Chain A
Amino acid sequence: SAVISQKPSRDICQRGTSLTIQCQVDSQVTMMFWYRQQPGQSLTLIATANQGSEATYESGFVIDKFPISRPNLTFSTLTVSNMSPEDSSIYLCSVELGRDYEQYFGPGTRLTVT
């Protein structure tokens, strides 16, 4: 297993501003994923980040709104840009680990936009 951490754990932001969420893993991983979990809902994949290449975004998510960086094999950031109250959610990173590339999640960042 690995230790996956996220910063910040929670934040309250004003609409129109941006927040950058960090995800750190204590071992090198090829693929990192960013999910959104709205209150009481399931997990929705935002994008997949492979080190050294552009992130791959899912339908309904665009790079201008959710820019992602993946500078090395242990770190990634997700920025939520020009926030609105509809962006209030939990944002989780996950990584593929293990012989069978199972996905494990970070603790999440709880974002509230006022």
Chain B
Amino acid sequence: GENVEQHPSTLSVQEGDSAVIKCTYSDSASNYFPWYKQELGKRPQLIIDIRSNVGEKKDQRIAVTLNKTAKHFSLHITETQPEDSAVYFCATSEPKTSYDKVIFGPGTSLSVIP
């Protein structure tokens, strides 16, 4: 089955700097790559996603890039703010007959230092 790796496991940046989190996956059939943000004690929130027919997607300060050939994708956060501090999970989909089974990476704990 699908294996999702995520690096780094922890990341600390100064406010205003950029943060980059990278993920790799194993199943070449995966075609959907969401990113979730989970603040302490809260539910995971979908912040951005990308499908395999697109190489890059941007939404204000966050962007995701996808390299299907190399089977890796990355989350980029620019101009980081203290409220960006959270655990970020990348995920991929394992296509099934009637739904996509989402497989989560181990997570990256991001700390933004004021």
Contact = CB atoms under 8 A, between A and B. Distances in A.
B44 A43 contact: yes
23 contacts: A30-B98, A31-B98, A31-B99, A33-B102, A42-B89, A42-B106, A43-B44, A43-B89, A43-B104, A44-B104, A45-B102, A50-B98, A50-B99, A100-B51, A101-B100, A102-B34, A102-B49, A103-B34, A103-B46, A103-B102, A104-B46, A105-B43, A107-B42
B107 A42 contact: yes
Interface of B: 32, 34, 42-46, 49, 51, 89, 98-107
B21 to A, nearest CB: 14
Contact of B101 (A42, A48, A100, A107): A48
Interface of A: 30-31, 33, 41-45, 48, 50, 92, 96, 100-108
A68 to B, nearest CB: 15
Given A48-B99, A105-B43, A105-B44, 4 more contacts: A42-B104, A42-B107, A48-B101, A102-B49
B70 to A, nearest CB: 22
